[in-house]
């Protein structure tokens, strides 16, 4: 086993915990579905986070699998700094409980949206920082344009809590992500 595989292992544990938390929260919502006031925007944001995590698995595999890597501690900490905010966003995306009076996913989304989008923006900024450090400033032109566009929209989502703005931008962020990732082989 090469050092890149060990690095992927730790990153996979963190992202796996994020998915497990989302699945548990979804299970709680589904088993209490009659007391849940469903909201498409909250569910789309959660689906986006789920797909982002899965996409990060593929990126990490393509970057590190079967390779010898030996980053300094600060370099590996920066790699962790890319997945930890994503874990935090996943953890907050869906409620952990359904009370006696039920739960409104729209209210939950409104409560956590700044936290979620700020966490995801930090993940994206870190990703772009790695690209610039590895490939130069010109790297954000071309294949990174959808990532830059998503990051800019996330920053708007952090600063503006208006539901109409979120109802417009979250589907666009989701569509850009799908455009950029859905047909990319995961483990090529």
Structure tokens at 178: 């799908």
With 0-12 / 13-18 / 19 or more C-beta atoms within 10 angstroms meaning exposed / middle / buried, residue 27 is exposed
Please list, in sequence order, all residues whose beta carbon lies within 8 angstroms of the beta carbon of residue 183, skipping any fewer than 6 positions away: none
* Unique residue bearing structure tokens 């994206």: 124
Provide the pLDDT for residue 59: 75
Q: Which helix (H) or strand (E) holds 103?
A: strand 103-104
pTM here? 0.91
Q: Collapsing DSSP states into helix, strand and coil, what is residue 187?
A: coil
* Unique residue bearing structure tokens 């501690």: 73
**Residue 176 and residue 150 in contact, taking contact as beta carbons nearer than 8 Å:** yes
Provide the pLDDT for residue 12: 85
Low-confidence ranges of the chain (pLDDT < 70): 1-8, 62-67, 69, 139, 186
Provide the pLDDT for residue 73: 77
Q: Over the stretch 99-150, which tens digit does the pLDDT of each residue have?
A: 999 999 999 999 999 999 999 999 999 989 888 887 888 867 888 889 999 9
């Amino acid at each position: 086993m090469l050092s890149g595989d060990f690095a992927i292992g730790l990153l996979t544990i963190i992202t796996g915990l994020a998915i497990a938390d989302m699945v548990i929260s979804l299970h709680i919502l589904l088993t209490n579905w009659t007391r849940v006031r469903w909201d498409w925007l909250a569910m789309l944001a959660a689906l986006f986070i789920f797909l982002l995590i899965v996409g990060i698995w593929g990126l990490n595999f393509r970057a590190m699998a079967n390779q010898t890597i030996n980053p300094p501690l600060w370099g590996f900490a920066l790699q962790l700094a890319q997945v930890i905010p994503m874990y935090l966003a996943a953890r907050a995306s869906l409620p952990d409980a359904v009370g006696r009076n039920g739960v409104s996913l729209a209210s939950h989304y409104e409560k956590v949206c700044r936290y979620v989008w700020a966490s995801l923006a930090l993940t994206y900024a870190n990703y772009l920082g790695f690209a610039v450090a590895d490939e130069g400033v010109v790297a954000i032109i071309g294949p990174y344009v959808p990532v830059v566009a998503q990051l800019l929209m996330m920053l708007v989502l952090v600063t503006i809590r208006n539901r109409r703005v979120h109802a417009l931008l979250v589907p666009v962020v989701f569509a850009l992500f799908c455009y950029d990732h859905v047909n990319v082989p995961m483990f090529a």
